Structure 1
Amino acid sequence: MKKLYLILTLAFVFIFTNTQIHAERIDSIDILHYEITATIRNLSAKTISCSVKLIAVAKFNQTTNITLDLLKLTTTSVQSKSQTLFYTVSDSTVRILLEKNYQAGDTILLTITYQGTPVLDGSWGGFYFNGTYAFNMGVGFTHDPHTFGRCWFPCIDNFTDRATYTFHITTDSGFMAVCNGLQKPKTINADGSITWHWLLSETIPTYLASVAVGKYVLIQYDFYGKQSTYPVILAAEAKDTANLRASFIKLTNALQCFEERFGPYLFDRVGYVAVPFNSGAMEHAGNIAYPISAVDGSSNSETLFAHELSHHWWGNQATCSTAGDMWLNEGWASFCEALFLECVYGKEAYNNDINTKLFTVLRWAHVHDKGYRALADAPTQYTYGTHVYKKGALIVHTLRTVMGDSSFFDACKSYLYKNRFKDVNSLNIRDEFQKFTTYDLTHFFDSWIFDKGHADLQLTSVNTVDENKTILNFNQMSRWKSLLPKTFPMPVNYHLANGNVINKIVNLNAVNGCEFSAEVNTADVKQAAFITINEENLLMPGKTIEKQIIKTTGTKNFNNVLLSITTQQVSDSALIYVEHHFAAPFQTDALSLKNIRVSNERYWHVDGLWPTSFKATAFFNYDGSTPSGNSGYLDNELITVTEDSLVLLYRVNNSGSFKVHTDNTKQSGGSKTDKLGRFWVNNLQKGDYAFGIYDKSASLGSTEKEVRSFKIYPNPGDGLVHVNLLFEHKAGTLEVTDMNGQLIFTDMLSVSINELIIKTASWKAGSYVITFKDEAGKVSTVFIVN
């Protein structure tokens, strides 16, 4: 009775303290090895019967209990050596009372036996049974944490607990189990079943552990890598092997590409296993689960196998420590899609892929992910969103540009080597890369990675000083961004009349937060028919670009810039160059239109080399709708009720003001309230086109009024900012907002007050808009707080 009483008392204490234990378990033990023994037979039953032996080390003294993650499978016993242990279960955990107190450094040996039907994630991931296949996909998109080892074995299920693995998987005759690591000799059992043995010697987190059961045959060959020779194993049903070979014909190219730029492949094999899954692939270490639909004999999906392979550097070798830093895994792997194309097909293929991602990000990322989001610390529901994948790739591409290839790839190798088989965060990669460049990566990361939104740099004027020197002036417009980039190398492209292009790089440093200038050679400017910046998108811009050479009449769709142009007359050929800016056009207060609010969402810049006979019409489509599908969200901030007051605006260049464009036909969609329609421009001209809407409150003054401006110092400010109003004014309101439009400061100014000191010490570093409003109108400018 006393023994039973003691056990029940300990069990009560154990259950009572489980909530604290669960939070502490990651820090209390470190699992070093999992040995998974599983029977996966009679696949139509959709069940597994398993045991797991784990080797763990206590990290603290007085370790008496542990909690393991196991999701909705039935635990039947827990043993330590030969002793049966007390445990409790929930639908997601197994809580184990150890047989003694373990001290820091002590080894804990446990065997957990369990069975049942593994679960699926509601969106993506889990353990699948499909016909003659059974396989896991190691993350769950809608589960938190996303790591999903717990759907098929008890574990510490997070991104940081790494272990080695042994697998013993028993299947029916005619089936094969393919797992991580190297294959060991199989065992043919007395009942005709087969047990397949695999050993993984490198440590991985739980989400990278893998099993796939099917009627597999293996394609095997060796790859001679930079550090060693290792096997390549491709698994598929016999009927799919010919297509498998053809679809993976450039796998060796991908391995060579990544080893050359990132360092040696460190896992004991390269492997892909074909599974009936049509929603992507999963980068299980050395055993990538790959969709059968992508094994079609073509090269159509080769960026998919390159993406998953690259995870063996970005994600499997150095793993994000939290889901919030998933861009370190998925953003880099998405960048590697473009890098693979560059290695195999050349730089143009790389640029095309980057441009495709750029359009997706600017057009759709904020729609798909329900807002503009920073890369770092992404909310869990957007861990696998468009920002993390595609914007992540673009920021890596931009980092490559500002560092230069030599420094960038040297930094990649160093970072990956120092963090091999470790977990990492955004600060780790920032600090390591900083060792390889003089470029300020702290500000780069603050602006591009830790801040949301995007910036759009616009060439606003070209001022020739003398025969040797011309000044290019730029203004940076923000789209939901609070901290704008302050320095970067900017490509300038001089288009000559003969079609040639002179490409130069100018180093830009912010003069006044949003303003930049650069001195260039007057000779380059004089011979240029037109000038563009960042035409190859070497940096992530806030614009998309498309250019076409037109030789015949007819309609051409410029899909990348959301424009259709119909050529009515052309002699020889015409180069049409169009930019679609996903930001407001820069305009000074003095040139602003009265009673018309210009779109903050987008505008077009049209240029090119046009013969004098060239004539074309164009469709500028507006769409203020907010549907749930893949349309809308282009002009929904401008068109809030009806398009009755919507107009098309035009200006020749930034030195002039927008005017209402009248040589067009406005065509509404189904109704005047559906916010859909187009302006059919009868005679397309070079210049800027934007949408505007009549709004009496939008007036910022006119060219007939006194030019009103501020003097702000110091700028950037640090603690205190002095504001001088350099004009006479009526009593009014002074407001400061951040770049998201959030009001930060407000004060009333009487007629006699022209100077104010604002305390900014507690403000977040970034750019701010200061606005003064009185009965004469309003005037605004931007300043920076360090």
Structure 2
Amino acid sequence: MIRIARVFYCTVCVIVLFAFSESRADDTVDITHYAFDITLSDDSDRVEVAAAIHLIVLQSTSSVTLDLVGTGADGKGMAISSVSVDGLNTSFMHSDDRVTIDLVAPASPGDEVLVEIAYSGIPRDGLIISRNKHGDRTFFGDNWPNRARNWLSVVDKPADKATVAFAVTAPDHYQVVANGRLREESHNADGSRLTRWESGVPLATKVMVIGVARFAVDHVGVFHSVPLQSWVYPQERDKGFYDYRMAWPILDYFVDKIGPFPYEKLANVQSKTIYGGMENAGSIFYHENSIDGRRGSETLFAHEIAHQWFGDSVTEQHFHHVWLSEGFATYFTNLYMEHMYGTARMNERLTSSRQSISNYADANPDSPVVDTSITVLTNLLSTNTYQKGGWVLHMLRREIGDETFWEGIRNYYAKHRDSNALTSDFAAVMEDVSGVDLAWFFDQWIFTPSIPALDVSWSYNELERRVIVDARQSHIGRYVYQLPVQLRFDNPDGSQSEVHQFRMSAGSGRYTFPADVKPERVVVDPDVNLLARISVTPPTQ
């Protein structure tokens, strides 16, 4: 997901006040499959839903609790008309945006249960019903982080993944895109169209969506056995088809470096998402101004496509570990840009983000990357989880080496594909492939707030022909970082020395290096590999 600075309409602003808390649905069951039969109309924003929910009981229980936003004083929200369990009508309680359903009989671990719920209403959020930039009516799912509950009856948390099927009945002039594979398109006698999509891959609710609008659709081709599609507003067909075809080299790079694409297709969709981009599984929604005819959204595409592996297929177990999604997508965008345009381009991006991280640390000195004190989930979308998370991966790559890093990335994906992970799971894989204890690394970069400050001064001993470097960790606080510090000497004749390195594991230290002439300057971190505030004091004349 890419955040963008935007002014939201009031109907969207309620998100901040309303939706963002962890799911309170119980953990006594595991949802295995959702089937949503959804009817949309141009007459009103009211939606009708018939949901069939297949689940397995994990703990003995006589009830099941799901998330579903109820009708509020403004008339928005969902009202339930009927609930059945295994085909038998049953009682339920719908309050506080939860549905507690009485099972027909107490259930034991391993029991399979089918819950069917019929409900309708105007979505408060989650399914964004509005008009696009061309004035056309549109319907777009926008579930992150836990807004699916506004229109779908679900266990709305990333750890409970399930397969999903959408059967959408809408006026015939609309086309429908959703997760998975297209199963059916049928024209009905009343002028409506039924479209069925089905995902055979388990998904988190945050990336289960439909998109309903007038589209021009480009079936780009099949790459690595993955059908690649572009869905754009028909008014922008030519520019949109051109721009969105930039997805195929990105897909090609990530499949080659990470592993097989996890979903049945990749549809890139122009949409009304409130984010810059939203990484819905196999159906990525981009903001509606993502088309310019010049492929100006290349980094946005790289970020969202990277999410298909990390964030979607390998999903954070808890939202507080969202850096496993956003930090990965941020760094894999940098890796793609390095692949396409060279290391200098990536270093420009890293240098810029390092300054952003420093600024964020100044404003939030007590906030680590995994910050369990954050209770408003949207506040997890920060420079910490994006840029700093990406920088952590960059430093890990330098710490263990390129070959080992990529082996670890591939193993991590293979081990946790279609499942969930915590930071400890990622660390364990990287320790396994490298044979190195990395507890210190993740402790100081993920679980310790702020970033180090490194003050370097230097002098030259002409008799011994050596550069003397004094380094001091000057940040506030007692934490002493382990820092691999690189140096380069720029000489008066324009030549440059090889890159020297020392590892700093104390608060201060002195280090010496051979040099035939006194350098004109000493460059600390010339290859942009260290996340720190760096200051260099030259010798006095």
Partner Cα separation in structure 1 for residue 221 and residue 448 of structure 2: 44
Per the alignment, residue 304 of structure 2 pairs with 308
**Residue aligned with 2:293, SS:** coil
Q: Does 1:530 align with 2:521?
A: yes
Partner Cα separation in structure 2 for residue 407 and residue 321 of structure 1: 25
Equivalent runs, 1:65-80 vs 2, <5 Å: 65-72=63-70, 73-80=78-85
Identify which range, 469-478 or 261-270, moves more after superposition. 469-478
Q: TM-score, normalised by structure 2?
A: 0.88
Equivalent runs, 1:222-237 vs 2, <5 Å: 222-225=221-224, 229-237=225-233
**Residue aligned with 2:529, SS:** coil
Partner Cα separation in structure 1 for residue 513 and residue 433 of structure 2: 28
Partner Cα separation in structure 2 for residue 267 and residue 278 of structure 1: 24
Partner Cα separation in structure 2 for residue 384 and residue 128 of structure 1: 24
Identify which range, 236-245 or 190-199, moves more after superposition. 236-245
Q: Does 1:36 align with 2:27?
A: no
**Residue aligned with 1:478, SS:** coil
Q: Deviations over 1:81-123 (max 9, x none)?
A: 3311100101411110010111111110011001001113xxx
CA contact (8 A) 1:508 1:518 kept: no
Residue in structure 2 matching 1:460, options 452, 457, 460: 457
Equivalent runs, 1:510-529 vs 2, <5 Å: 510=505, 513-523=506-516, 526=517, 528-529=519-520
Identify which range, 331-340 or 32-41, moves more after superposition. 331-340
Q: Cα 1:487–1:540, aligned 2, differ >3 Å: closer, same or farther?
A: closer
Partner Cα separation in structure 2 for residue 445 and residue 318 of structure 1: 19
Per the alignment, residue 118 of structure 1 pairs with 123
* Cα offset, 1:361, TM superposition: 1.7
Q: Which amino acid aligns with 1:423?
A: N
Partner Cα separation in structure 1 for residue 500 and residue 253 of structure 2: 27
Residue in structure 1 matching 2:489, options 484, 494, 503: 494
Q: Which amino acid aligns with 2:367?
A: R
Q: Cα 1:372–1:253, aligned 2, differ >3 Å: closer, same or farther?
A: farther
Per the alignment, residue 73 of structure 2 pairs with none
Partner Cα separation in structure 2 for residue 466 and residue 424 of structure 1: 56
Residue in structure 1 matching 2:418, options 416, 421, 424: 421
Q: Cα 1:126–1:172, aligned 2, differ >3 Å: closer, same or farther?
A: closer
Q: Cα 1:505–1:245, aligned 2, differ >3 Å: closer, same or farther?
A: farther
Partner Cα separation in structure 2 for residue 283 and residue 503 of structure 1: 42
Poorly superposed stretches of 4+, deviation over 6 Å: none
Partner Cα separation in structure 1 for residue 460 and residue 489 of structure 2: 15
Residue in structure 2 matching 1:342, options 338, 361, 364: 338
Q: TM-score, normalised by structure 1?
A: 0.62
CA contact (8 A) 2:68 2:99 kept: yes
Q: Cα 1:338–1:24, aligned 2, differ >3 Å: closer, same or farther?
A: closer
Q: Cα 1:219–1:359, aligned 2, differ >3 Å: closer, same or farther?
A: same
Per the alignment, residue 373 of structure 1 pairs with 367
Per the alignment, residue 283 of structure 1 pairs with 279
Partner Cα separation in structure 2 for residue 264 and residue 392 of structure 1: 24
Q: Cα 1:113–1:304, aligned 2, differ >3 Å: closer, same or farther?
A: same
Q: Does 1:411 align with 2:423?
A: no
Q: Cα 1:457–1:437, aligned 2, differ >3 Å: closer, same or farther?
A: farther
Identify which range, 446-455 or 377-386, moves more after superposition. 377-386
CA contact (8 A) 1:506 1:518 kept: no
CA RMSD in angstroms comes to 2.2
Residue in structure 2 matching 1:363, options 356, 359, 365: 359
Partner Cα separation in structure 2 for residue 361 and residue 256 of structure 1: 31
Per the alignment, residue 11 of structure 2 pairs with none
Q: Which amino acid aligns with 1:88?
A: M
Partner Cα separation in structure 2 for residue 180 and residue 113 of structure 1: 22
CA contact (8 A) 1:403 1:437 kept: yes
Gaps of 5+ in 1: 1-21, 140-145, 544-580, 582-604, 606-652, 657-685, 687-786
Q: Cα 1:59–1:212, aligned 2, differ >3 Å: closer, same or farther?
A: same
Identify which range, 93-102 or 454-463, moves more after superposition. 454-463
Partner Cα separation in structure 1 for residue 178 and residue 405 of structure 2: 34
Residue in structure 2 matching 1:298, options 272, 294, 319: 294
* Cα offset, 1:224, TM superposition: 2.7
Gaps of 5+ in 2: 1-21, 71-77
Identify which range, 49-58 or 354-363, moves more after superposition. 354-363
Partner Cα separation in structure 1 for residue 23 and residue 269 of structure 2: 36
Partner Cα separation in structure 1 for residue 497 and residue 213 of structure 2: 57
* Cα offset, 1:175, TM superposition: 0.4
Partner Cα separation in structure 1 for residue 532 and residue 32 of structure 2: 45
CA contact (8 A) 2:361 2:451 kept: no
Q: Which amino acid aligns with 1:306?
A: A
CA contact (8 A) 1:491 1:503 kept: no
Identify which range, 325-334 or 498-507, moves more after superposition. 498-507
Q: Which amino acid aligns with 2:177?
A: V
Q: Deviations over 1:726-755 (max 9, x none)?
A: xxxxxxxxxxxxxxxxxxxxxxxxxxxxxx
Q: Does 1:106 align with 2:97?
A: no
Q: Cα 1:295–1:394, aligned 2, differ >3 Å: closer, same or farther?
A: same
**Residue aligned with 2:235, SS:** helix
Q: Cα 1:380–1:505, aligned 2, differ >3 Å: closer, same or farther?
A: farther
Equivalent runs, 1:137-536 vs 2, <5 Å: 137-139=142-144, 146-225=145-224, 229-277=225-273, 279-364=275-360, 366-367=362-363, 370-378=364-372, 379-381=374-376, 382-437=379-434, 440-462=437-459, 464=461, 467=464, 470-479=467-476, 482-488=478-484, 490-510=485-505, 513-523=506-516, 526=517, 528-536=519-527
Per the alignment, residue 745 of structure 1 pairs with none
Count of residue pairs brought into register by the alignment:
506
Q: Which amino acid aligns with 2:507?
A: C
Equivalent runs, 1:588-667 vs 2, <5 Å: 653=537
Partner Cα separation in structure 2 for residue 269 and residue 278 of structure 1: 23
Per the alignment, residue 14 of structure 1 pairs with none
* Cα offset, 1:127, TM superposition: 3.0
Q: Cα 1:366–1:119, aligned 2, differ >3 Å: closer, same or farther?
A: farther
**Residue aligned with 2:346, SS:** helix
Partner Cα separation in structure 1 for residue 47 and residue 190 of structure 2: 18
Q: Cα 1:186–1:426, aligned 2, differ >3 Å: closer, same or farther?
A: same
Q: Does 1:92 align with 2:97?
A: yes
Q: Cα 1:535–1:221, aligned 2, differ >3 Å: closer, same or farther?
A: same
Q: Which amino acid aligns with 1:298?
A: R
Q: Deviations over 1:106-158 (max 9, x none)?
A: 110011001001113xxxx653433411111111xxxxxx3222111101010
**Residue aligned with 2:520, SS:** strand
Partner Cα separation in structure 2 for residue 287 and residue 154 of structure 1: 21
Q: Cα 1:271–1:503, aligned 2, differ >3 Å: closer, same or farther?
A: farther
Q: Which amino acid aligns with 1:531?
A: V
* Cα offset, 1:283, TM superposition: 0.7
Partner Cα separation in structure 1 for residue 28 and residue 409 of structure 2: 33
Per the alignment, residue 593 of structure 1 pairs with none
Partner Cα separation in structure 2 for residue 174 and residue 168 of structure 1: 16
Partner Cα separation in structure 2 for residue 36 and residue 46 of structure 1: 17
Choose between structure 1 and 2: higher strand proportion: 1
Q: Deviations over 1:52-103 (max 9, x none)?
A: 1011001123x21011000131111101233111001014111100101111
* Cα offset, 1:519, TM superposition: 4.0
Q: Cα 1:86–1:195, aligned 2, differ >3 Å: closer, same or farther?
A: same
Q: Which of structures 1 and 2 has the larger relative contact order (alpha carbons within 8 angstroms, sep 6+)?
A: 2
* Cα offset, 1:315, TM superposition: 0.7
Q: Does 1:127 align with 2:128?
A: yes
Per the alignment, residue 733 of structure 1 pairs with none
Q: Deviations over 1:741-785 (max 9, x none)?
A: xxxxxxxxxxxxxxxxxxxxxxxxxxxxxxxxxxxxxxxxxxxxx
Q: Cα 1:111–1:319, aligned 2, differ >3 Å: closer, same or farther?
A: same
CA contact (8 A) 1:466 1:522 kept: no
Partner Cα separation in structure 1 for residue 118 and residue 480 of structure 2: 55
Partner Cα separation in structure 1 for residue 521 and residue 205 of structure 2: 56
**Residue aligned with 2:452, SS:** strand
* Cα offset, 1:39, TM superposition: 0.5
Partner Cα separation in structure 1 for residue 168 and residue 353 of structure 2: 41
CA contact (8 A) 1:452 1:482 kept: no
**Residue aligned with 2:433, SS:** coil
